[in-house]
Amino acid sequence: MASGFFAIFDDIAALMDDVAVASKIATRKTAGILGDDLAVNAEKATGFLSSRELPVLWAITKGSFINKIIIVPLALLLNIFFPVAIKYILILGGFYLAYEGVEKIVEYLFHRSKTAKEVINEAEESNDAEKAKIKSAVTTDFILSVEIVIIALGTVLDRSLTIQILTVSVVALLATVGVYGIVALIVRMDDAGHALIKRSDGKGATAKLGEMLVKALPIVIKSLGVIGTIALILVSGGIFEHNIEYLHHVLPAWPSMLKQVLYGLVAGLIVLAVVTIVKKVIGVKSSH
């Protein structure tokens, strides 16, 4: 009986070893999308009052966990019973990401300065704006999470169902904890800097490091805004290139990244045009 008990431990240890190896491979495969996920979500988790940064980030993180809880079993079930649906889900998600990226570019290029009245209205509606930004961040996380889970699943399709479930679950957990843990460090850079300055009485190398962190935060946030927008375009373009056979063979002489940017921009502009027309039609109907 004792030998049977230890044999179970051996089986569990062997299984965990297989999962560890598979998770390492899957994480390496998803490294690119994880980097894009970090850039996009770091940009979405910034721009709030200092006192609201961590609560907002926690709300987005909880949403990300819920996304993974939905996506992991759904992806596994679809892969077993209806694998073709995964491709179409990714493509639809690609259109959403492209729309988000292009919308940011259009807002930047054609933005107008806010009047004093608009600033006051924004302050009064800050709670609604915060909720809207959290919802947008969780929605974007959902789509990026789908791609992360699908890529991770693709690395273990030849393995047993148990290893598939455990590997995809580990990668999904690491994606959430890793991405939002780093985002939390980024958004609290200035607080860490102030703490270092205070501890060193504003003198020495520690104080200089603190000042550097405080000064670097606005630059980092602006950079993340740019990088996050580029990531949205690239990820969406990559989804189109890899899941639409025709696009995969178009412009063979072009570098893959350049094609992905083109596909993302075109798709985003199409969706933006459709959304704009629909909003105008709804606005006209509501006015009558």
Range scoring the smallest mean pLDDT among 4-18, 142-156, 267-281:
4-18
How far is the CA of 229 from the CAs of 8, 38, 98, 145, 236, in angstroms? Answer: 49, 12, 9, 17, 11
CA 274 from centre of chain: 24
Supply the pTM of this predicted model.
0.74
Q: What is the tens place of the pLDDT at every residue in 206-229? A: 888 888 988 888 888 788 778 888
Section 25-40 average pLDDT: 68
Q: What is the mean pLDDT of residues 165-180?
A: 86
Token pair recorded at residue 38: 């970090």
> pLDDT for 95-106, tens place per residue?
988 998 899 899
List all residues 6 or more positions away from 148 whose beta carbon is below 8 Å from its beta carbon: 30, 33, 34, 37, 171, 172, 175
Q: Where are the alpha helices (DSSP H) in 155-203?
A: 161-187, 189-199
